[in-house]
């Protein structure tokens, strides 16, 4: 399918052309160097979930500006339901690196109810050569047991096997996907690194499970390793003094 034909409710992902207006694109270009600098500290910590908005107040302001949140609410069919910024992580796909493996984000978050969505916001134009994100339409209705799977071939274990590669995308465009949408990325075949912000928003309360591990032979150890890591990161985050409770109940254990 073509990226322009994707529907969030039906396919689990969608394209948002010009999510950022001209002024916001200018601000984000100016923020690219500070983002790369802040990323050094997060990379050294080895955690998959980052909170770059804490390091860069201007980035936090950009990602929470009312016009952008209203566009996200409309695209996701949320009406006036409040949306809260949770995390902002930089993904850097260096020259020659293979694609990110097929995975469903919700599999790695220890929460039974995940009212959330992810915005993939590249920091440059995206084409077929510089590691575009790719999605499997309709996969948000299924749980792929065997994951992660290499992105170099179609995933095994789901009815749909034809990925949608998110190209072309202009700087300022974005994609949105649900927590259960199977996605990955292609390899970077260009001479420059591909940079993209992965921005996680909550549209409802987030409560972490007391036990992070999934039991049984269908759950590879890498899944539980990442679930434990994310439980630690999110648990620490949600219990920070001053974290707002409204509109979502952020504190661990409350609903």
* pLDDT digits 0-9 by tens, 24-77: 999 999 999 999 999 999 999 989 999 999 999 999 999 999 999 999 999 999
**pLDDT score of 252:** 33
How would you list the strands of the sheet with 133-135, edge to edge?
164-165, 133-135, 183-185
- C-alpha distance from residue 92 to each of 37, 144, 195, 198 (Å): 13, 26, 5, 11
Structure tokens at 9: 């409710």
pTM for the whole structure: 0.92
Q: Domains plus CATH for the chain?
A: 3-238 (2.60.120.620)
Q: How does 49-69 read in b/e, with b if 16+ C-beta sit within 10 Å?
A: bbbbbebbeebbebbebeebb
Looking at the DSSP bridge assignments, the partners of residue 88 are 51, 199
**pLDDT score of 207:** 87
Choose between 235 and 89: higher pLDDT: 89
**pLDDT score of 241:** 55
Cα–Cα distance between 8 and 209 in angstroms, integer? 27
Mean pLDDT of the chain: 90
């Amino acid at each position: 399918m073509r990226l322009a034909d994707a529907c969030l409710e039906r396919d689990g992902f969608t394209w948002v052309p010009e999510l950022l207006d001209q002024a916001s694109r200018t601000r984000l270009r100016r923020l690219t160097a500070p983002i790369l600098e802040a990323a050094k500290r997060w990379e050294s910590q080895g955690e998959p979930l980052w909170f770059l908005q804490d390091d860069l107040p201007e980035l936090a302001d950009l990602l929470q500006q009312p016009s952008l949140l209203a566009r996200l609410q409309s695209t996701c069919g949320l009406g006036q339901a409040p949306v809260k910024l949770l995390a902002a992580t930089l993904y850097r796909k260096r020259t020659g690196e293979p694609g990110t493996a097929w995975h469903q984000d919700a599999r790695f978050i220890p929460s039974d109810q995940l009212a959330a969505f992810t915005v993939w916001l590249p920091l440059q134009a995206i084409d077929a050569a510089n590691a575009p994100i790719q999605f499997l339409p309709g996969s948000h209705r299924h749980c792929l047991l065997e994951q992660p799977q290499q992105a170099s071939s179609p995933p095994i274990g789901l009815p749909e096997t034809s990925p949608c590669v998110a190209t072309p995308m202009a700087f300022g465009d974005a994609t949105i996907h649900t927590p259960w949408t199977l996605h990955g990325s292609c390899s970077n075949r260009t001479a420059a690194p591909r940079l993209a912000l992965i921005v996680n928003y909550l549209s409802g309360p987030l409560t972490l499970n007391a036990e992070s591990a999934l039991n049984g032979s269908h759950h590879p150890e890498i899944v539980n390793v990442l679930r434990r890591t994310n439980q630690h990161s999110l648990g620490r985050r949600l219990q920070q003094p001053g974290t707002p409770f409204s509109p979502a109940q952020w504190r661990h254990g409350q609903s």
